[in-house]
Structure 1
């Protein structure tokens, strides 16, 4: 097995929305805001090369939305999935599986693209299966009013219409061991229903793709919960469970949304679980 970071593109989000009820003087220590109160956000995906399978976890925003839409998110940098795949010697047509932690636009928008004539949409990875789970798919395709703006039908329905959609199983508790894709999955419901956190066993380490359970290093303190979470009190419980496990078992946490920190470990302190060490993906993957 080999792992590769895939940078799909950076953007910015409102710092207040990213930290909910936490006062700005606290969160800006780790996530400084610009003059518009926006903080740097990454969309760092993960590629798993495992035998004949090439599995991409999450796909970022993509590029099919309108200029007005992207104007809300202040895109910056020159990353793209295609450039990042090419840097590692791959093409999007090589991808066999696309695993989506959840179906918010900044995690799955790159899974679907315009067709050649821009008259409709098609899967952006023509040879891949797209993986979700049945409960989250229903949640996303029959969206509540809170999340409707994040579940965009053009990002979601073409995966099913193409016949390329598949579902993982669901766990009895929080963890589904040895899923169909070969890694364990931690299920978390606080951010959105049945978000999936992949836990990949790699060279004696466990690499956890944190998605929106832990967006950035700045979200390590338990009360630092995003305003986007639909069930923030549940997020608190899930974070506590997962971060205690991460500290006890020395898990390596791959941060999808932290533009400046790629992988971290955590430790127990008298103030709770806190940052232990920071690593680049190159240090851990090579």
Structure 2
């Protein structure tokens, strides 16, 4: 097995929305805001090469939305899925599986693109199976008013229409062991229903793709919960459970949204679970 970081592009989000009720005087220390109160956000995806399978975890926003849409997110940098795949010797047609942690636009938008004449949509990974789970799919295709702006039909429905959609099993508790993808999955419901956190055994390490359970290093303190989360009190419990386990087992936490910190480990302190070490993906994967 080999792992590769795939950078799908960088953007900005409102710092207040990213930290909910936490005062700016606290979160600005770890996630400094610009003059518009926006903080740097990455869409750092992960590619798993395992035998004859190439599994891409999340796909970023994609590029099919309007200029007005992207204007809300202050895109920056030159990263893209295609450039990142090419840098590692791959093409999007090589991808056999696209695993979607959840179906918010900044995690799955890159999985669907315009067709050639821009009359409709098609999978951006034509040879891949797209993985979700039944409960989250139902949640996303019948969205509540809070999340409706994040679940975009053009990102979601074409996957099912293509015939490439597959579902993982659902766990009896929080963990799904031995999934069809070859890694364990932690299910978290605080951010959105049945978000999936992949836990990949790589050499002598467990690499956890944190998605929106832990967006950035700045979100390590338990009360530092995003305003986007639909069930913030549940997020508190899920973070505590997972971070305690990560500290006990020395998990390596792959941060999808932290533009400046790629992988971290954590440890128990008198203040709770806090940052232990920071690593580049090159240091861990090579």
Q: TM-score, normalised by structure 1?
A: 1.00
Q: Which residue number corresponds to residue 131 of structure 1?
A: 131
**CA deviation profile, 1:39-59 (whole Å, cap 9, x unmatched):** 000000000000000000000
Q: Which residue number corresponds to residue 77 of structure 1?
A: 77
CA distance in 1, matches of 2:172, 2:29: 39
CA distance in 1, matches of 2:271, 2:87: 41
Q: Which residue number corresponds to residue 40 of structure 1?
A: 40
**CA deviation profile, 1:68-119 (whole Å, cap 9, x unmatched):** 0000000000000000000000000000000000000000000000000000
Give the secondary-structure state (helix, strand or coil) at the position aligned to 1:9: strand
CA RMSD of aligned residues (A): 0.2
For residue 178 of structure 1, report the CA deviation from its aligned partner. 1.0
Q: Which residue number corresponds to residue 218 of structure 2?
A: 218
Q: Which residue number corresponds to residue 55 of structure 1?
A: 55
Q: TM-score, normalised by structure 2?
A: 1.00
Say whether residues 1:271 and 2:265 are aligned partners: no
For residue 219 of structure 1, report the CA deviation from its aligned partner. 0.1
For residue 140 of structure 1, report the CA deviation from its aligned partner. 0.1
Give the secondary-structure state (helix, strand or coil) at the position aligned to 1:84: helix
CA distance in 2, matches of 1:25, 1:189: 28
Q: 1:80-229 alignment to 2 at 5 Å? A: 80-229=80-229
Give the secondary-structure state (helix, strand or coil) at the position aligned to 1:62: coil
Give the secondary-structure state (helix, strand or coil) at the position aligned to 1:59: coil
CA distance in 2, matches of 1:251, 1:12: 28
Provide structure 2 residue ranges, at least 5 long, that are not aligned to the other structure: none
CA distance in 2, matches of 1:56, 1:98: 5
CA distance in 2, matches of 1:122, 1:147: 24
CA distance in 2, matches of 1:169, 1:52: 22
CA distance in 1, matches of 2:124, 2:51: 22
For residue 167 of structure 1, report the CA deviation from its aligned partner. 0.1
The structure 1 segments of at least 4 consecutive aligned residues displaced by more than 3 Å after TM superposition are none
CA distance in 2, matches of 1:134, 1:99: 13
Give the secondary-structure state (helix, strand or coil) at the position aligned to 2:9: coil
For residue 249 of structure 1, report the CA deviation from its aligned partner. 0.2
Q: Which residue number corresponds to residue 255 of structure 2?
A: 255
Give the secondary-structure state (helix, strand or coil) at the position aligned to 1:198: strand
Give the secondary-structure state (helix, strand or coil) at the position aligned to 1:264: strand
